[in-house]
Chains A and B, each alone.
Chain A
Amino acid sequence: MNGWNPLKHHSIHTHIAIAFSCLILCTTALLSYSTYKLSSDAVTRNSQEYTSQLIEQVKVNIQTYISNMESIAALAMRSNDLQRYLKQNEPAFVKPLMKKQVSQYFNSIVTSRNDISSILFISDRGDEIVSNRESAEFNSIAQIKEQDWYKKVLGTDQAYISSSHVQRIFRDEYRWVVSISRELSATEDTIGGVLLVDLNYKLINNLCQQIELGKRGYVFIVDPSGDLVYHPQQQLVYSQLKSEQLDKVLQMWNGSMTLGEGNDKKIYTVNTTSFGWKIVSVTYPDELVGNKRQIQFTSALWGTLCLVVALAISIILSYALTKPLKKLEMNMKLAERGDFDIRVEIDSKNEIGKLARTFNIMISKIKELMSQVVAEQEMKRVSELKALQAQIQPHFLYNTLDSIIWMAEMGKMEEVVDMTSALSKLLRSTISKGDELIPISVELEHIKHYLTIQKMRYRNKFTYSIDVDEGIGNCQILKLVLQPIVENAIYHGMKHKPETGHIRITGRSVGDDIELQVIDDGIGMDPEAARTLLERKVASRSGNGVGVVNVDHRIKLNFGAAYGLWFESDLEEGMSVTMRIPLLREVEQT
């Protein structure tokens, strides 16, 4: 029936402590985890927001550079100097002058801005180059025209924006730039060509290099064709030591994606400029772990602290809760051992307090019941005693009345009177006082009446003497205890003795006790039989010693097992019955 219960053998204290601990453990773990989760989510969200704001800023800056360049290109194209230079019908000797003017105009733009490294115009006729530097040595035209910014802008009326590259126009000069070129189509009276504005790559490089995205995060820029405009580790990418998911980046316009697994997990956030470059930030989610670790650490620390405190409290609480229970248990143990005078002092009004009160009530009820049982026992004993007393009287009455009848038949009227008066006194003394205990003198008076009756019945078959110390006359004795003994002495000692016997009654105090003896010189009995006389108990109602056994029983019931009757006898040697009772003075009784 009972399922497996590991806590079966443990105390409530342990139960409560364990239950609390589990509860607290779960709660703390849950709380710590959710705190950690929430905080780390917030950190992630914040950092993502920060990242996208940052690259938005980069995008805005780069767009500004590029649009500035576009407007410079537009401005240069529309400039009077260039327009005049392009006119076909100008005389040949003016050309160098005009070329110089254009060059000076370009130079004024370049010197006023540090972001522009050069502006130049290549005419499609004559392959003339006009640059911001008047006296520059150029590389071969063929070499220049190989470059993308020239080849790709032809036939379009859009500005071409190159990726970052080494500009190879000026001899012995290898500058990193981003080129913007526009074609000026030839018309009837003007020559055509390509206008080039070079943006110093350093600006983009510095802009991107400055960006701090955690410890390892970085920004790169890729143009629509998949060329890297900027990458902090471009060499590694080209050497295939590193790879960026360019195909996936190129498919993306704006937004972010997480690529890679485990430690190589990267978050790519893409923001595309109006002219197609994609600004991509790469952040490492596990770097947020730096922050996350902090959060983890803090939540773990506080979690543990809370746990320790809460557990301590739970233990103290469970101890405090079970302490009254323990107290109750201890008291119950006392009750178990039979101490019903205890009271459990628990003042609290809770269940345990109620339990304690109920226990107290129960204990007092038990005590009451116990005393009730004792009282009933007492009553039972008294009633038994009453019954025993009642047993004596009819027994004797029958015999005496038989004697009276016999004497009356014999016509011995005087003796009948004497006997009847003695019987009457005897009965009166027996019945008149209801008390169980009477003074020894009264008992002796009673026995005298009794002996008078018996002496008459047995016609001087015996004589008697009473020799009791005067001092103990006042002492208490059980009513009618001597009579059965004397009766026994007469019936079993005197009755069958041929000569006249003598019954002697003595009494004296021995220490705290009183010893009364009834000694006869009758026929006596076997010593063994005398010793076992009391053990026969109620052998037969009419038989030997019923009264004596009752007397012994009564004494023992009243005074305890130390008291009672002792028989000494031998055949033909008479019998001595010693009665021992405690010395009780009447004064003490009343």
Chain B
Amino acid sequence: MRKRWNGVKLISLVLLGVLTIGWAGFSIVSHELNSGKKKTIIFVPKTIDTTIEFWQVMRQGVASAAKEFDAEVEVMGTRAEVDVDEQIALLQEAIKKKPEAIILAATDYNRVVPVAKEIVAAGIKLITVDSGLNGGISTSFIGTDNTDAGRRTAEILHTHVDSHAEIAVINFVKESATAMERESGALEILRRYGNYTVLGPFYSNGSVQTAYDIASSLLKTQPNLKAIIGLNEPTVFGIGKAIQDLKMKSQVFAVGIDSSMGEIRMLEDGVLLATVIQKPFNMGYSAVKTAVEVIDGKRVSPRIDTGSKVITKENMYSNENQKLLFPFVE
């Protein structure tokens, strides 16, 4: 009788073992299959305005990375870049969708902070792109090193303008971190090299007209003015227009940051010496890549510089720069 009991025990033990192994195998494999599940990410750019190339290109980068890293990215954005309240509302909506990560290009350095804190509190990974937030709430910020971009504007001038010239700096706003970083970068270089007299910084408030007015008066009143640095696109455009209108392109060098069709024209016409452009495609791509890494629990750098590029008339049609300057957007 004992023998028989032993036999039963053996049979059940073996069966149990096999079932356990089978179950373990099954769960491992099914876990592996589940791990192939798409990661959910919500991308909130400053605007979804399709006429603004910068954000369109960033979305291309986002889409490209989403495909490559097999993530499901939903884009939620406001129609206008200045609509901070709507972005906050959108972010609250995004939290309800419970994505694994949110990639945010903040429309305001300070006002978006409370809702950003809500995002983090909800256990959603927060990545900021292009425009960060006060206090560094996000796990990682992906964007252009604006100080570096500012430095580059001054560095180009340094090779073209003799060291005793007057150089004007027209910034866009005082409150923006981006603006201040660019400004400090530009000023740092101007002070380091030569004995430049820095005029300004002036503030255009991002308005073409204000920039135009400032530049015009400077061009008219400062005979020793040899160069103007504009720290964002509308500002540079205003400066360019002033130079064009006053027909002073042979006397004054203008350098800017960011590009537009108008600026490209000015580059071709020699009104602008150079412009430092950002890489929105790379921003979008890196933001998604970083978000995926954060979701996967990897350590990421809190600050990822996507680089900038100095574009001049000479190099603007190089293979490499064509794609940056004239992004292919349908």
Contacts and interface: CB of A to CB of B under 8 A. Distances in A.
Q: Considering residues A147, A293, A294, which has the most beta carbons from chain B within 10 angstroms of its beta carbon? A: A293
A239 B307 contact: yes
A21 interface: yes
A166 interface: yes
Contact of B281 (A166, A168, A236, A312): A236
Q: Considering residues A14, A235, A297, A304, which has the most beta carbons from chain B within 10 angstroms of its beta carbon? A: A235
Interface string B276-294: 0001011001100000000
A216 B11 contact: no
B11 to A, nearest CB: 5
B193 interface: no
B14 A21 contact: yes
Interface string A172-212: 10101000000000000000000000000110010000000
13 contacts: A174-B326, A233-B68, A235-B279, A235-B282, A235-B327, A238-B319, A238-B323, A241-B282, A241-B285, A293-B33, A297-B32, A315-B10, A326-B3
Contacts of A311: 14-15, 18
Given A14-B10, A238-B323, A239-B279, A215 B317 contact: no
Nearest to A305: B22
Chain A interface SS verdict (over half) = helix
A215 B54 CA distance: 26
A553 B306 CA distance: 123
Given A166-B317, A172-B261, A233 B285 contact: yes
Interface of B: 3-4, 7, 10-11, 14-15, 18-19, 21-22, 25-26, 29-30, 32-33, 36, 61, 64, 67-68, 70, 261, 264-265, 268, 279, 281-282, 285-286, 306-307, 317, 319-320, 322-328, 330
Given A294-B33, A307-B22, 5 more contacts: A165-B317, A216-B67, A235-B282, A297-B33, A300-B25
B282 A172 contact: no
Nearest to A290: B36
Contacts of A174: 261, 264, 326
A342 B265 CA distance: 115
A234 B26 CA distance: 42
B279 A308 contact: no
Given A172-B265, A304-B22, A238 B29 contact: no
Contacts of A315: 10-11, 14-15
Nearest to B323: A234
Interface in A283-300: 290, 293-294, 296-297, 300
Given A201-B328, A216-B70, A293-B33, A319 B22 contact: no
Contacts of A502: none
B25 A304 contact: yes
A3 to B, nearest CB: 25
B282 A236 contact: yes
Interface string A311-348: 11001100100000010000000000000000000000
A41 interface: no
Contacts of B328: 176, 201, 205
Contacts of B317: 147, 165-166, 168
Chain B interface SS verdict (over half) = helix
A308 B20 CA distance: 10
Contacts of A134: none
Contacts of B322: 165-166
B73 to A, nearest CB: 14
Interface in A224-265: 227-228, 232-236, 238-239, 241
Nearest to B265: A172
Given A174-B261, A174-B326, A236-B281, A308 B15 contact: yes
Contacts of B281: 233, 235-236
A301 interface: yes
A232 B68 CA distance: 11
A43 B124 CA distance: 38
Contact of B30 (A297, A307, A319): A297
Contacts of A300: 25-26, 29
B11 A319 contact: yes
B64 A233 contact: yes
Nearest to B284: A235
Nearest to A174: B326
B285 A236 contact: yes
A17 B22 contact: no
B319 A304 contact: no
Contact of B14 (A17, A232, A236, A290): A17
Contact of A312 (B15, B64, B327): B15
A312 B15 CA distance: 7
A118 interface: no
A238 B21 CA distance: 50
B62 to A, nearest CB: 12
A296 B282 contact: no
A220 to B, nearest CB: 12
B19 A308 contact: yes
Contact of B26 (A21, A227, A304): A304
A202 B22 contact: no
B7 A13 contact: yes
Interface string A1-14: 00000000001011
Nearest to B68: A216
A301 B286 CA distance: 39
B19 to A, nearest CB: 6
Nearest to B69: A216
B18 A308 contact: yes
A131 interface: no
A239 B67 contact: no
